[in-house]
């Protein structure tokens, strides 16, 4: 069921006119879910509060996402049935469309900025290329209607709204002969978590926000209250957009540091034969330590792999302050190398020469029960194994093609094939249900549980079969 023609640049024709229009700029993992959340905001009579149009670039990827939206197909694999249900309701109501035409910005009274912003490297020094982000802000300035609200949700280096967004918008407005302050600017970072609670991480979760002016902050607050369950999840206003930007970077840096801290404790547990997972569970009983992390295979995805570096970048780029941020930067380095511990496990089992080993890897995405492969720690492992001339096979229930590695992925588990090793990297639900008596062909296959995936029943089954079993984060 198509919403409008296959011309990607069509402007939307909403079924119910007169509703405020919200424009989502950038339909990635965040923007797509945000579009569903806003289009499903309803009043007391069950009627939608907004018409929503999502905009993406007119390149191959952007056109594919736009086409998917307008054909009633959510553009990313997800296990969140609630999100898919709400998406289909919005398509049926015809209050959600997508386009590559930036003129759609002129229809909106609220624009949400969800443009990806990546870290670049120059001689091992992290930086951020703001060109695409600036172009997106300029585009808003070229088409935005006066008195509109622009909310930046993108995670950015602290100072970006003050030093980039405000001047870029004002310059664009000035060129149009409009007052420089006729658009309201705010920052409210997303905390989107793809997975089984994808939609809930927007509509039933806490939000931080701030505005460039008091009016922009108030406008932002009222908009968020119309979409998010703020009675149960109250909003928190900060004193400036730079404070709001810093809050997002700090909370992700804290999580990255917590994960990196556990890396060396995992190696300790493996060496002396204890189970760090049961130790952490015991410690978590203490309320002050409830969020201590467990050992794991690695850190991936779009946030923790880069966000901690934004504070160092922002301090220097926008404020001229050279601050070391030693712990924060080191955490990113430690987490990036985490998957290589599995290579050491293989060498302990098979010797230093791993060439020609046949290895099945279970799990390609960066996190359980999602289909997102961006910065997947499995990629780090696979690139190292390829350097060791290992023959690799991949399975993931939510990934059929691994774009970053340019390879197809099995969606059905092979049965009784001869593998030298099976490495379980992602705790997908289906992996906790594997019958290893059907998967394993002989007792020579080594099993490496790299992410605390296996149940006690599976562990017993594997050991009963006589296969060698090795863990990350616990001894044998």
Domains and CATH numbers, the chain: 21-249 (3.40.50.720), 264-471 (3.40.50.720)
* Phi/psi at 136 (5° precision): -65, -40
- Of 86, 94, 107, 93, residue with least CA distance to 36: 86
Q: Find the helix packing angle between 276-284 and 241-272, rounded to 10°.
A: 130
Residue in the structure block whose two tokens are 């970072």: 189
169 and 199 Cβ atoms separated by less than 8 Å = no
Enumerate helices (H) and strands (E) in the chain, giving the number of each.
Answer: 16, 17
In this prediction, what percent of the chain has a pLDDT beyond 90? 85
Mean pLDDT for the stretch of residues 323-337: 94
What are the distances in angstroms from CA 451 to CA 73, 197, 325, 368, 457? 32, 21, 29, 10, 16
Highest mean pLDDT among 22-36, 118-132, 188-202: 22-36
Strand ranges for 212-314 from DSSP E: 235-237
Confidence at 4, pLDDT banded by 50, 70, 90: very low
Question: The whole model's pTM is what?
Answer: 0.92
pLDDT tens for residues 344-401? 999 999 999 999 999 999 999 999 988 889 899 999 999 999 999 999 999 999 999 9
- Would you say 3 and 34 are in contact if contact means Cβ atoms under 8 Å apart? no
d(CA 105, CA 112) in angstroms, rounded, equals: 10
DSSP states along 70-108:
HTT--SS-B--HHHHHHHHHHHHHT-EEEES-GGGGGG-
**SS3 category, 290:** coil
On whether the CB atoms of residues 64 and 75 are closer than 8 A, the answer is yes
Q: Using alpha carbons only, what angle is made at residue 413 by residues 461 and 356, rounded to the nearest 5 degrees?
A: 90
**How high does pLDDT run on average in the chain?**
94
3-state SS, residue 285: coil
Q: How far apart are CA 468 and CA 233, in angstroms?
A: 47
The vertex-159 CA angle with 206 and 205, nearest 5°, equals 5
**Alpha carbons 354 and 155: distance in angstroms, whole number:** 40
At residue 7 the predicted structure's pLDDT band, cuts being 50, 70 and 90, is: low
Would you place residue 207 in the very low, low, confident or very high pLDDT band (cuts 50, 70, 90)? very high
377 neighbors 343 (Cβ within 8 angstroms): no
Residue carrying structure tokens 């952007």: 62
Q: Is residue 244 within 8 Å of 210, Cβ to Cβ?
A: yes
**Which pLDDT band, with edges at 50, 70 and 90, does 82 fall under?**
very high
Residue 5 confidence (pLDDT) = 43
């Amino acid at each position: 069921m198509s919403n409008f023609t296959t011309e990607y640049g069509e402007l939307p024709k909403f079924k119910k006119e007169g509703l405020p229009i919200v424009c989502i700029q950038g339909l990635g993992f965040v923007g797509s879910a945000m579009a569903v959340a806003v289009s499903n905001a309803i009043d007391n009579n069950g009627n939608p509060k907004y018409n929503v149009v999502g905009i993406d670039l007119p390149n191959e990827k952007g056109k594919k996402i736009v086409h998917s939206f307008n054909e009633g197909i959510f553009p990313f694999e997800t296990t969140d049935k609630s999100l898919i249900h709400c998406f289909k309701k919005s398509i049926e109501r015809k209050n959600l469309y997508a386009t590559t035409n930036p003129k759609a910005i002129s229809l909106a009274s609220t624009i949400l900025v969800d443009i990806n912003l990546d870290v670049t490297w120059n001689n091992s020094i992290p930086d951020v290329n703001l060109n695409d982000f600036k172009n997106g802000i300029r585009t808003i300035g070229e088409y935005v209607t006066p008195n509109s609200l622009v909310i930046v949700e993108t995670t950015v280096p602290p100072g970006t709204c003050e030093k980039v967004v405000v001047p870029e918008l004002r310059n664009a407005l000035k060129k149009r002969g409009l007052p420089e302050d006729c658009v309201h600017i705010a920052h409210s970072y997303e905390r989107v978590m793809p997975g089984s609670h994808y939609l809930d991480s927007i509509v039933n979760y806490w939000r931080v926000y701030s505005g460039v002016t008091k009016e922009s902050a108030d406008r932002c607050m009222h908009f968020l209250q119309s979409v998010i369950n703020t009675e149960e999840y109250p909003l928190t206003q900060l004193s400036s957009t730079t404070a709001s930007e810093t809050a997002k970077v700090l909370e992700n840096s804290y999580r990255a540091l917590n994960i990196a801290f556990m890396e060396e404790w995992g190696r300790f547990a493996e060496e002396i034969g204890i189970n760090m997972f049961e130790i952490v569970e015991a410690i978590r009983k203490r309320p002050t330590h409830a969020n201590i992390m467990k050992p794991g295979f690695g850190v991936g995805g779009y946030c923790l792999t880069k966000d901690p570096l934004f504070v160092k970048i922002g301090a220097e780029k926008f404020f001229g302050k050279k601050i070391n941020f030693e712990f924060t930067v080191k955490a990113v380095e430690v987490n990036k190398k985490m998957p290589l511990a599995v290579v050491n496990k293989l060498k302990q089992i098979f010797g230093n020469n791993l060439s020609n080993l046949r290895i099945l890897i279970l799990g390609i995405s960066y996190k359980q029960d999602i289909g997102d492969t961006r910065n997947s720690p499995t990629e780090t492992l696979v690139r190292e194994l390829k350097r060791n001339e290992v023959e690799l096979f991949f399975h993931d229930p939510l990934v059929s093609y691994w774009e970053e590695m340019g390879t197809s992925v099995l969606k059905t588990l092979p049965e009784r094939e001869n593998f030298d090793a099976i490495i379980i990297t992602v705790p997908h639900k289906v992996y906790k249900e594997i019958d290893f008596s059907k998967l394993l062909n002989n007792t020579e296959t080594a099993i490496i549980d790299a992410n605390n995936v296996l149940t006690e029943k599976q562990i017993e089954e594997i050991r009963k079969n006589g296969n060698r079993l090795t863990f990350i984060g616990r001894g044998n």
